Amino acid sequence: MEKERIHKDVVIIGAGIAGLTAALYAGRMNLSVLVLENGIVGGQIANATGIENYPGFVQVTGKDLIETVQKQAENFGAVIDEFDAIERVSLKATPKIVETTECIYEADAVIIASGMNRRKLPLAEEAKYANRGVHYCELCDGHMYQDKVIAVMGGGNAAVDAANFLTKYAKKLYLIHRSQLRADDVSVERLRENPKAEILLETEIEALHGVDKLESVDLLDKASGEKRRLAVDGIFVNIGVVPNTELFAKELELSAGRIPAGEDCRTSIPGVFAAGDVREKEIRQLTTAAADGTTAAMLAGKYIDEARRGAAAH
């Protein structure tokens, strides 16, 4: 069956804070807006348990912040399509094409705010235990481990936030990191004060074991050289991220996986903008993602207006 073709003024790829902010601003300009998200709305920030550096909030969870911005965007007419995978894009076409499993969308402008994916656990057994004990989304899969032993791998804010979140389910939780923690002191202290949690630093995970699902991991204490096997029911991996830009690599030249675009968020293709963590830039914070979304949407609106005036003149 032939897919339905639907026209939108702006298609936004990704529903993190950059994408949702872009949807809010584009909607306010009376543009027809579609946001495509192949995972959960909110992206990496959705599972943050306590955000304390976003203006206007003393403290807010990632879930609450995302829900608020999503509601604002939808109030201005933006349509948010969750779990609709994109199969191909044609960004240089006129109109631009974004094809999903369900539809072919034609767009006058495209904003890429596709964020980043978590780096895979670099062990040979990872594929065997993927979704059978090895996970990358605590918000999606944490509930599966009620009263179980959970390990979190990583030492940055994402890992510590994940560990704090997962303590609501865990009978026992281990945070395992090969070096020292890089997370902010407030989040680390919160975890240290939790009686369920134990932090294992200077510790490597060397192997995974289990019959049909993960049952244990082999640990190496780098300081002492001691090896031991630790029984766990699940491990949530937070060891860095890679930009989610593979879909655009044939049409946009990437830099270390990210999309080169200035502070105006314009890419090398007219009418295509990059916002948030996929854009090549020095500082990546929630506030800078929101700023990118604002800029991209307003300049996308300007691009569409100019294109239409030019077409009318001819």
Positions annotated as catalytic residues are 137, 140-141
Alpha carbons 57 and 62: distance in angstroms, whole number = 11
CA distance between the termini of the chain: 37
Q: How many CA atoms lie within 13 A of 23 on its CB side?
A: 34
Alpha carbons 46 and 65: distance in angstroms, whole number = 8
Structure tokens given for 194: 């939790």
Q: How many H helices and E strands in the chain?
A: 7, 17
Q: What is the DSSP string of 246-314?
A: GGGTTTS--BTTBBP--TT-B-SSTTEEE-GGGB--S---HHHHHHHHHHHHHHHHHHHHHHHHHHHH-
Which residues pair with residue 175 across a beta bridge? 152, 199
Alpha carbons 69 and 72: distance in angstroms, whole number = 5
Nearest-10 Cα torsion for 180, 173, 235, 244: -60
The letter for the amino acid at 288 is T
- 3 state SS of 233: coil
Alpha carbons 33 and 300: distance in angstroms, whole number = 11
